[in-house]
Structure 1
Amino acid sequence: MKTILKVEDLTKYFVVNRSLLSSGEVVKAVDGVSFSLMEGETLSLVGESGCGKSTTGRLALRLIEPTRGSVRYRGQDIAQLPPEKMRKLRGEMQIIFQDPWSSLNPRMTVKEIIGEGLRRQKELSRAQRKRLVLDMMETVGLRPEHYDRHPHEFSGGQRQRLGVARALIMRPKLVVADEPLSALDVSVQAQVVNLLARLKQELGLSYLFISHDLAIVEHISDRIAVMYLGKLMELASKRQLFERPRHPYTQALFSAAPTTEVGREKNRIILSGDVPSPLNPPPGCRFHTRCPQAQEDCRQLEPEFKLLAPGHWVACHHPLNG
């Protein structure tokens, strides 16, 4: 398989609390993240709230500019592209937003929301645009009579289908799905997950899937990357990570996921303390303040993100045997 997306040393710092008397403080939202996404693959980013998952997704699409690092889409460093070339590339790189309520313009109709990209990117007649919009509505499970309706006339699941249609109308190759199910009921989540999986096969999509729901991640992913406080802790195939997590944080995170299997008990790992502030991350390994396995080198030296086994990367001085 070919690489469709490659990020190296991706970093984003935000300056906050700036004033006339102060230059402000620096929030290290994403700090030196590197990974690749293959064509036709689903790579999931997981971790606690505030770990930098969504910021990473937006950096991957250049919706925000990185502080440093590179993002290569099909070999092109998109951070170096001029605005005109970047606009032409936008059709191939789309995002599905987390909130189906606030991400849709309430004043626009379905035909306007889905067809907006077509008006901006392609020279099509009104009849051609309408046909493409109706075809995409059918693809995501929306009916023709929805064509002239507004977002407030739909349920949450229908709104998210509308968001999916808006992202896919340009026939992208790369889709960042940023917590696309968190605002939906469980029954609707299953429908949208199955829709995303089906469209991946039909349209040949590659997903960067951002979520905190490990049950959904296990269902939809090919590989999984675990983030903590702006850093990647572990990256491996779905099977490797669920069967043998090597980082203490991954093990604790997965132990907290609920199970529906009758009679199956989990050895729940309770982490002490709170997540440190990204304004002042701890030295050494960022997880050492909560890690039950932490040793002196963990407190002083930042661990290298290294390959432990084929396809299995870990940033830990003392990885677990599993």
Structure 2
Amino acid sequence: MLPFTAISIPIYVIFVCALIKYRKSELSGAFYTLHISIAVADLLSLIFCKLFYKFPVFCGIFPLGYDVAMRYSYFFGKLIMFMFWYSMHVQICGVVVVTINRFTALVFPLKHNKIWSKRFLGLMIIGMWLLPLAFSVLVLTTKMELKASLNSDGELRWYSFDYEDERVETIIFGVSGIWIGIVLNVTLFVMYLIQFIKFAQNRAALRKSNVAAKTKAYTELKLALCGFVVFLVLSVLGLIFLRMIAENLFNDYCRVCIPLYSVFGDINAWITPYVLLVISSQTRHCFLNTIGLGRFIKKTEVVPLTSSVGGTLELRKNSQHSGRS
């Protein structure tokens, strides 16, 4: 996955440029504004988790970026480790915020635009960057050492961090594992399930709607599917993380955990732009325009992402009831 991860960094940078360039036109709305913030977190994760740590390890070199940082300044070395954890948790909070955005769009369509005001959007983004501090700042309070982890055959499995204060290690790994592997897995899955059920309930009324209403409805569904795919990757990563915690607590060795965690950790860092480019024609057109290839594809009709056919259908039902009464 490392070569694909390396290729994904410039693609992600172009993706961010497209989001910023078209934020007031085709890619306007809270959904895409949130993805600008998520993109920053993903790029930070690619820098601190991959360039400083993972690339040197898989090239057979001691984690060079971390090693040099520790030799130059012990605090700077810990700061890199802090960013390792912090960027990961910001990514996770980003998935949560997008889920909330899609939930309100499909379940509460009439109130969605009112809920996602500029103030509320700003508060969600601030919370997305502040909440992870609670999971990450403890890294700066204890001494730690980077150690090689070997399997039963004496072969290198991974480099792990040994924390002097075991309470800090328990909090960082234990709370993070429960938060990602259990709480978020259950909560976000239920939220997406409710969204899809709501859309299915509206399908009967949707068949009687005009083309514009149908287009808007399936645009909302596509965006929800986009968020759901990203959530599935995070869900698998959380379950693997829980298994790794069990390994540390009960000395129950798992041969496949590290490779799987490595693969899904990579995918989690760069999957967002690919999912949006595949599912959303608007995103794809703006991306190609940014690199000068937009003229080679047919421009699709821009559908306002802040609108929702659910609201249209709900209004229609209300008007029908009013007519009967």
Q: Same fold (TM over 0.5)?
A: no
Whichever structure has more helix as a proportion of its residues is: 2
So what's the TM-score if we normalise by structure 2? 0.27
So what's the TM-score if we normalise by structure 1? 0.27
Whichever structure has more strand as a proportion of its residues is: 1
Structure scoring higher RCO (CA < 8 A, sep ≥ 6) equals 2
